[in-house]
Amino acid sequence: MIAAALVFLVVALYAGLLLSIRLRTAHEWVCPKCNRTAHLERLGRPEWMKKLAGFLPLKYIRCRFCQHTFFLPLDINNPLSNEMLEKGNY
């Protein structure tokens, strides 16, 4: 009985972790808090995310203006990067 409750608690905490990551995921290269684009920088993932949710294809982004951190999917590119200009995809 206690083991089942413990397993349920662990699964519920993990689901809560994945939900919190999902809620902090933006869908464009804009800070969701201050709506700026030029002040964003990519960071390394936090250690807890590498261990618990390392399979998720997300970038970890911080806004240098308001210090808000959030996630972006890997397929969203920075519109201000030099790689986009070199390829002609602007």
Please report, in angstroms and rounded to a whole number, the separation of the first and last CA atoms in the chain: 59
Distance CA(68)–CA(60), nearest Å, equals 11
H/E stretch holding 17 reads helix 2-23
Sheet (strand 69-73) strand order = 40-43, 58-63, 69-73
Q: What is the pLDDT of residues 51-84, one digit of tens each?
A: 888 888 888 999 999 999 998 888 887 776 665 5
Q: What is the pLDDT of residues 9-49, one digit of tens each?
A: 999 999 998 898 888 888 888 999 999 888 888 888 888 88
pLDDT at 89 over 80: no
